[in-house]
Structure 1
Amino acid sequence: MAAVRVLIVDDQEPFRRAITAVVSETDGFVVVAATSSGEESLPAVVRLRPDLVLMDVNLPGIDGIEASRRITRAVDAPVVVLLSTSDADEFDLTGCGAATYLAKATFGPDQLASSWAAALAR
């Protein structure tokens, strides 16, 4: 079975490195690229065709919620998982197309694998 191709979108370099390490340590997942903004994520999704996008909610310019909305409009859209240091109830995620929301503080291999499995089961 092919590895799940992951695009990481976060404006903070330390978090991009940390999430890359988590994805790399999780069996069956591989990072194909990392971008630092919602604007950069849009052409990266078209060019790289990832299976999964790990998207920070709080991004400069186009935020993660709007980027998720734009990405998931496509027929063959990747699964988008939103991440943030804030609580999920601080955002209106209605209609953005994201499969789920995860807290950055608790994100790890188990959450990555379970959120991917849940998205596939939908």
Structure 2
Amino acid sequence: MTIVRVLVVDDQAAFLHAMTSVVGETPGFEIVGSASSGEESLALAAGLLPDLVLMDVNLPGIDGLEATRRLLARDSPPVVLLLSTYDEDVGEHLVAESGAAAYLTKSAFGPDRLEAAWSTAVR
């Protein structure tokens, strides 16, 4: 079984912990790093080469949308899933603006949603 290497990005410790826990509970996924800002996510992604980045939309400094655009402009970019507390209907706009593979609300994020979003993104 191939393991999906995940970088989690959120500036709020509670959400960072929750997302990390979900990834840890999901078979086939493993955390390779975590970041609390857009700048830190870019630096870590360059060294860790994750398959998947779970990116909070609202971050200090470079926000999640800009960090996503920069990640996707790289050679062999990771899949990026945006997460936020915004309603699902806002997510379509954020995905279109950033180029991310999908948007998930933090309240709905769980192993089943993670697996489904990953499967859809890599088709």
- After TM superposition, is the score higher than 0.5? yes
Aligned-partner residue type, residue 111 of structure 1: R
- Unaligned runs of at least 5 residues, structure 1: none
What SS does structure 2 have at the residue aligned with 1:77? coil
Q: Aligned-pair distance for 1:88?
A: 4.6
Alignment size in residue pairs: 121
Superposed counterparts of 1:82-97, under 5 Å: 82-90=82-90, 92-93=93-94, 94-97=96-99
Question: Does 1:26 find its partner at 2:53?
Answer: no
Q: Aligned-pair distance for 1:97?
A: 1.9
Q: Distance in 2 between matches of 1:89 and 1:41?
A: 26
Match of 2:114 in 1: 112
Q: Aligned-pair distance for 1:90?
A: 4.2
Task: Compare 19-28 and 85-94 and name the one that shifted more.
Answer: 85-94
Q: Distance in 2 between matches of 1:108 and 1:36?
A: 20
What SS does structure 2 have at the residue aligned with 1:33? strand
Q: Distance in 1 between matches of 2:103 and 2:61?
A: 20
Question: Does 1:98 find its partner at 2:100?
Answer: yes
Change in Cα spacing, 1:48 to 1:57, as seen in structure 2 (3 Å) is same
Superposition TM-score, scaled by structure 2 size: 0.93
Q: Aligned-pair distance for 1:87?
A: 2.1
Match of 1:53 in 2: 53
Task: Compare 53-62 and 94-103 and name the one that shifted more.
Answer: 94-103
